[in-house]
Amino acid sequence: MRENVFITGANGWIGKKLLEKLLAKQFNITALIRKKNAESFMLEEKHNNLQFIEGDLEKVEEWKHGLNGVDTLIHLAAKVHTYSKSEKEATAFYAINFESTKKIFEKAEKYGVKKGIFISSVAVDDLTTEKEGKIEYAYASSKIKAERFLIDFKKSSNMSIQIIRPVTLYGGQDKGNFRRLYKLTRFNFFPIIGEGENLKSVIYYEDFAESLVNIMQEPISSTKEVLTIGAETISMNEIAQQFKKSNKRMIIVKLPVTPLRVILKIINIVNKTFSLKINRQLNTLIQSNTYEYEENLKYLPSKITFFRNINFKNEYIGNEPKK
């Protein structure tokens, strides 16, 4: 008997790839999307084991019936890839990433869902006590709040719950740091701040989707409560060299850190908002973001996609994410 799977965020960047991989394995799938379109109608027509339902994450009562008869819930949808700039925006992070997650899992348990998988973020690993709760860290704060709720909820629930923290994802229609970094190559210039030896833990988006399918099929009792999923760790120098393969005219320039910080302080006096934005981008180029994922490599596909093998021109050009 085929397992029944419910996915939120099925029309997103990772969700589409996850959907593709689950369909290939013949699972019965109910996929929550905000609004049906030509693509969703075509997929339903092609696959008799797929059903899309329309719904808003914040209005669970309107689509909760879709959880009836479900074996596994994969909660992928979230508000991501932005720093909150106001109290209103911070509130939206908590509403979607925490409050909606809470309601979805509570309803799932009532409908007898056996297993729940929540996609969190390694941003919570970098969240200090001083940062938690501040407006600009609302994304990470909302995710850690959801994690804490689920860990506590699991103690009194009949549902098995797994929390997944992916490292930096790249490829396809990503809207994150890698696409922003690659956009710099359009100017035939790529800056490295400092020596370029700072490290990043990364995973190709298709490999992450495959790992979710593999984790889903594992008994949760045999896994850790929180799994960090990554594939490799690379340096900023390696990132620059790989980008250069896609643009031979690109010049890699190493810039000293201290003068840039001084310039940033001057900009901060004139325009604090702009300074904050530049500072975050600067930190992306300077900081190391590494995480312990080695013990979870077993969940990745047998053939991993390595960063050094990606042609970023083919990967990103003409494959822009939807607004």
Q: Which residue has the higher pLDDT, 280 or 312?
A: 312
pLDDT value of residue 136? 84
Instruction: Tell me which residue has tokens 């029309």.
Output: 11
Select the CATH number that applies to the domain covering 4-166 from these four: 3.40.50.1820, 3.40.50.720, 3.30.365.10, 3.90.1150.10.
3.40.50.720
Distance from CA of residue 65 to its chain's centroid? 27
What tens digit of pLDDT does each residue of 155-202 get?
A: 999 899 999 999 999 999 888 888 888 888 888 989 898 899 999 999
Residue 223: pLDDT band (50, 70, 90) is: low
pLDDT value of residue 177? 81
Burial track 41-61 (b if 16+ CB lie within 10 A, e otherwise): eebeeeeeebebeebebeebe
CA distance 168 to 203: 6
For 75-79, what is the mean pLDDT?
95
Token couple for 47 = 């696959």
List the domain boundaries for the chain.
4-166
Residue 209: pLDDT band (50, 70, 90) is: very high
pLDDT at 222 over 90: no
Distance from CA of residue 244 to its chain's centroid? 26
pLDDT value of residue 218? 86
Flag whether the pTM goes above 0.75.
yes
For 230-259, what is the mean pLDDT?
92
For 286-300, what is the mean pLDDT?
93
Token couple for 78 = 């979230």
Q: Which residue has the higher pLDDT, 136 or 3?
A: 3
Q: Give DSSP secondary structure letters for 11-32.
A: TSHHHHHHHHHHHHTT-EEEEE
Q: Is 270 buried (19+), middle (13-18) or exposed (0-12) by CB count in 10 A?
A: exposed
Burial track 29-39 (b if 16+ CB lie within 10 A, e otherwise): bbbbbeeeeee
pLDDT value of residue 156? 92
Lowest mean per-residue pLDDT among 19-28, 48-57, 115-124, 132-141? 132-141
pLDDT at 210 over 90: yes
Amino acid identity of residue 129, one-letter, is T
User: Looking at the chain, which runs of residues are DSSP E strands?
Assistant: 4-8, 28-33, 50-54, 72-75, 115-119, 160-166, 168-170, 189-193, 199-204, 226-229, 232-235, 251-255
User: For residue 172, how many C-alpha atoms fall within 13 Å in the half-sphere facing its CB?
Assistant: 20
CA distance 281 to 267: 14
Lowest mean per-residue pLDDT among 151-155, 220-224, 243-247? 220-224
Q: What does the mean pLDDT of the chain come to?
A: 90
For 68-82, what is the mean pLDDT?
92
pLDDT at 280 over 70: no
Q: Which residue has the higher pLDDT, 127 or 92?
A: 92
CA distance 79 to 296: 26
Lowest mean per-residue pLDDT among 17-31, 35-49, 217-231? 217-231
pLDDT value of residue 274? 57
Q: Is the dihedral of CA 87, 89, 90, 94 positive or negative?
A: positive
CA distance 195 to 127: 26
Percent of the chain with pLDDT over 70: 91
For 32-41, what is the mean pLDDT?
92
What tens digit of pLDDT does each residue of 102-155 get?
A: 999 999 999 999 999 999 999 999 888 888 888 888 999 999 999 999 999 999
pLDDT at 275 over 60: no
For 255-266, what is the mean pLDDT?
76
